[in-house]
């Protein structure tokens, strides 16, 4: 929003040092970037190096150990929990699996699901959007009707039906996310293509004898890449949320995958005695989605400010 | 306007048909329904007999026509899990609980989201605005099932103020409704903020100020009334979103609504019940989108011509 109105009152005075820090932070999204690296990327790539324990194998003698910092709990002389140890900094779950290790492997799961499904949805949506916008006419009508239909199908419900029909699996989750998300690319890319198509350089390319395929791939596509990148970044957070919700409901990734949504689901019945089982995976989801949203906002302002309302 | 409405209604019907085709297709992918009905020792002749009796030997398009015909007559088949019960009536029994939850969540998102949105817009670029932005960002990044569990842990387990789950008194309603509504509080707030900012910048507001009307009157009466259009129409969309979002919240709080029914049905692989829920919810979702679109077009005539 370009708000160039005259300020009603003068901006408050700030200590210069703080201001410079803020300015720097505004120029580069340092905090979100750091969180993305710490919570998502580094754990996803180096999970097997960093994780102190196996994400899927636990020992029952270690079950439901509390995290570091939670004190021993003794009620009426009976020891309920003895406080956390550094062996399991975030505690263990019902099967004695280390929660920190599961969260670290969970980053790999979330990032894999998000990147695969966003790439597939992006390719399908972009291709259809380019075709619809460039050729127009009946094919445009047909594709846009498909987009309308896709936008009006609620994603979680579709996932439920798929989970019953095909059984919960990695593929089912990818299919659901692609079906829900491709249409946004198609609609956005079509709009951009329409605007680009009417510009002079496209006509000149045509006069110079370029084929439709060449014009689309060499002249139109490079001009919509920024839009696609911004949309994809903004969607990573939403995809992570959707995948977590599906897994939580039992319609997403199957057990014993260390998926964050599944881990929260494991902690649901334990909320009375062992809050940490559900708490920490939720924090991981929150941080990952929050930082991706901030990153997407920043990229949008940087690369493609017209997308403000997407 | 009439043309716009007709086109939009047509699109909605198309979308509903698409949903029904998807579900019909999935029902056929998920395995031979005859195999589920017959005992293991059944012969090929038994299979053929049952197929003929259920019309499963006919070509697919005729099967689909029968299927759609049944749906229009409210016949969604019998539940597998709850033996002998009609799938649709199972769903309809649960409907009031889901509606109650959704309406209360809507009230929460309106009562909290609208005023905060106004205040944040008036205090643009101050600490209040920043706090509002943080609340909104958290709302969009927090998984609602996790928020629900944490609310349950704090208010029910630690302090014992509210019940953990189930339905009954007003106290039972508070936690699920907050968990369901919080995401939308953020959305309503953002929407109110941006449309208030637009209105605050207009000439008639300046005139009102020049006339010497008190700032409170300017903000809450002159501005808010004009800024309400966007959030109000958005409530239609929210309602559709709540009904489907209730699947998650109801699972967390054991709220006996349609969402919980759907999850139970999914776990029991009870396809008849799942498809009734999906078709009903999809219809509500598509209908609320339709109403919102028409409302927008009515309020903002420019929209009618872009289609």
pLDDT in tens, A61-88: 777 777 776 655 656 656 555 566 777 7
For the four alpha carbons of B114, B116, B122 and B125, in that order, the dihedral sign comes to negative
Q: For residue B10, list chain A residues with Cβ-Cβ distance below 8 A.
A: none
Closest partner residue to A285 (CB to CB) among B14, B143, B286 is: B143
Tell which wins on pLDDT, A116 or B254.
Answer: A116
**Is residue A146's pLDDT more than 90?**
no
Residue ranges and CATH numbers for the domains of chain B are 88-269 (1.10.3720.10)
CB pairs < 8 Å spanning A and B: 148
Dihedral-angle region of residue B212 (phi above 0 means left; psi in -120 to 50 means alpha; beta otherwise)? left
Nearest-Cα distance to chain B for A299, in Å, is: 16
Phi then psi dihedrals of residue B80, to 5 deg:
-85, -40
ipTM given for this complex: 0.79
Question: Which has the minimum average pLDDT: A108-112, A244-248, B284-288?
Answer: B284-288
- Residue among B145, B191, B291 with most chain A CBs within 10 A, to mutate: B145
Q: How far is B53 from chain A (nearest CA, A)?
A: 23
Do B164 and B150 meet the contact criterion of CB atoms below 8 Å apart? no
CB contact under 8 A, B266 and A275: no
Q: Is A251 on the interface with B (CB under 8 A)?
A: yes
pLDDT tens digits, B216-228: 888 887 788 777 7
Tens-place pLDDT, residues B227-279: 777 777 777 778 777 777 788 888 888 888 888 888 888 777 777 787 788 88
Cβ–Cβ below 8 Å for A282 and B149? yes
List CB contacts (< 8 A) between B291 and chain A.
none
- The verdict on A249 touching B (C-beta cutoff 8 Å) is yes
Q: Is A74:A67 a contact under the CB 8 Å cutoff?
A: no
pLDDT at B307: 47
Per-residue DSSP letter, A274: -
Contacts with B22 from chain A: Cβ below 8 Å: 153, 158, 161
Q: Which two tokens stand for residue A138?
A: 């009946």
Q: Please name the residue of chain A whose CA is at the shortest distance from the CA of residue B125.
A: A11
Q: Which residues of A touch B269 (CB under 8 A)?
A: 164
pLDDT in tens, A5-17: 665 666 666 555 6
Distance to chain A for B170, nearest Cα, Å: 22
Distance in Å, alpha carbon of A212 to nearest chain B alpha carbon: 26
Write the CB contacts of A10 (distance below 8 Å, at least 6 apart in sequence). Answer: none
Decide if B304 contacts B297 (C-beta within 8 A).
yes
- Residue A286, pLDDT > 80, answer yes
pLDDT (tens digit per residue) in A19-71: 666 666 667 777 777 788 777 888 888 878 877 877 777 777 777 777 776 65
B151 has a pLDDT exceeding 60 = yes
**pLDDT, chain B, mean:** 80
Q: Which residues contact A218 (CB under 8 A, 6 or more apart)?
A: A205, A210
Residue of A nearest to B245 (CA): A156
Cβ-Cβ contacts under 8 Å, A289 against chain B:
140-143
Considering only CB atoms, which chain B residues are within 8 Å of A267? 149
Chain A residue numbers touching B27 (CB-CB < 8 A): 165
Distance from A199 to chain B by nearest Cα, in Å?
20
Please say whether the dihedral angle defined by the alpha carbons of residues B233, B238, B240 and B243, taken in this order, is positive or negative: negative
Q: What is the pLDDT of residue A11?
A: 62
Mind listing the pLDDT tens digit for each residue in B79-114?
766 777 787 888 888 888 888 898 899 898 888 888
- Does the beta carbon of A214 lie under 8 angstroms from any beta carbon of chain B? no
Query: Which residues of chain A make contact with B144, given a CB cutoff of 8 A?
Result: 245
Contact A166 B30 (CB under 8 A): yes
Assess contact for B262 and B245: CB atoms under 8 A. Answer: no
% of chain A residues with pLDDT over 90? 14
Tens of pLDDT, residue by residue over A184-221, are 899 889 988 988 888 889 889 889 988 889 999 888 99
Q: Which residues of B touch A148 (CB under 8 A)?
A: 11, 14-15
Residue of A5, A165, A265 lying closest to B26 (CB–CB) = A165
- Inter-chain residue contact B152 with A271, CB threshold 8 Å: yes
């Amino acid at each position: 929003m370009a708000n160039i109105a005259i300020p009603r009152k003068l901006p408050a005075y700030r200590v210069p040092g703080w201001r410079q820090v803020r300015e720097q932070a505004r120029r580069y999204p340092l905090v979100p970037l750091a969180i993305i690296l710490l919570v998502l990327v580094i754990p996803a790539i180096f999970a097997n190096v960093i994780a102190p324990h196996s994400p899927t194998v636990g020992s029952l003698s270690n079950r439901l150990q509390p995290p570091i910092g939670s004190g021993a709990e003794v009620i009426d002389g009976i020891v309920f929990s003895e406080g956390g140890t550094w062996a399991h900094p975030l505690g263990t779950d019902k099967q004695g699996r280390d929660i920190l290790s599961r969260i670290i492997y969970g980053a790999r799961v979330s990032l894999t699901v998000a990147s695969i499904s966003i790439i597939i949805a992006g390719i399908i949506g972009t291709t259809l959007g380019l075709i619809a916008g460039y050729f127009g006419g009946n094919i445009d009508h047909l594709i846009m009707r498909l987009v309308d239909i896709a936008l009006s199908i609620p994603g979680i419900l579709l996932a439920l039906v798929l989970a019953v029909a095909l059984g919960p699996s990695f593929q089912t989750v990818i299919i659901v996310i692609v079906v829900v998300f491709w249409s946004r690319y198609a609609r956005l890319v079509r709009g951009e293509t329409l605007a680009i198509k009417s510009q002079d350089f496209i006509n000149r390319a045509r006069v110079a004898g370029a084929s439709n395929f060449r014009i689309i791939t060499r002249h139109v596509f490079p001009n919509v890449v920024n839009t696609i990148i911004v949309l994809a970044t903004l969607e990573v957070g939403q995809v992570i949320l959707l995948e977590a919700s599906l897994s939580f409901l039992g319609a997403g990734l199957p057990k014993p995958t260390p998926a964050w949504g599944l881990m929260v689901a494991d902690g649901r019945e334990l909320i009375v005695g062992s809050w940490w089982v559900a708490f920490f995976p939720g924090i991981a989801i929150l941080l990952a989605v929050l930082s991706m949203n901030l990153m997407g906002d920043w990229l949008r302002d940087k690369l493609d400010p017209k997308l403000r309302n997407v | 306007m009439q043309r716009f409405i007709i086109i939009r209604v047509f699109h909605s019907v198309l979308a509903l048909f698409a949903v029904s085709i998807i579900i019909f297709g999935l029902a056929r992918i998920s395995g031979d329904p005859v195999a589920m009905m017959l005992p293991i020792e059944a012969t090929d002749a038994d299979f053929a007999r049952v197929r003929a009796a259920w019309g499963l030997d006919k070509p697919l398009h005729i099967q689909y026509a029968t299927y759609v015909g049944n749906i229009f007559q409210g016949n969604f088949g019998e539940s597998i899990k709850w033996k002998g019960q009609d799938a649709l009536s199972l769903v309809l029994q649960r409907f009031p609980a889901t509606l109650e939850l959704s309406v209360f969540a809507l009230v929460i998102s309106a009562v909290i989201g609208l005023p905060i949105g106004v205040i944040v817009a008036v205090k643009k670029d101050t600490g209040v605005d920043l706090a509002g932005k943080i609340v909104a960002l958290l709302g969009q990044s927090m998984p609602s099932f996790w928020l629900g569990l944490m609310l349950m842990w704090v208010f029910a387990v630690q302090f014992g103020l509210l019940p953990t789950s189930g339905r009954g008194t007003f106290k039972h309603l508070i936690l699920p409704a907050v968990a369901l509504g919080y995401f939308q509080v953020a959305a309503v707030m953002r929407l109110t903020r941006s449309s208030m900012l637009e209105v605050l910048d207009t000439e008639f507001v300046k005139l009102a100020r020049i006339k010497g009307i008190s700032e409170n009157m300017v903000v809450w009466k002159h501005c808010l009334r004009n800024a309400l259009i966007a959030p109000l129409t958005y409530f239609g969309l929210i309602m559709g979103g709540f009904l489907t979002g209730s699947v998650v919240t109801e699972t967390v709080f054991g709220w006996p609504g349609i969402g919980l029914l759907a999850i139970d049905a999914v776990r029991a692989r009870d396809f008849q019940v799942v498809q009734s829920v999906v078709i009903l919810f999809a219809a509500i979702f598509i209908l609320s989108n339709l109403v919102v679109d028409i409302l927008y077009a009515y309020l903002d005539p420019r929209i009618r011509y872009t289609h």
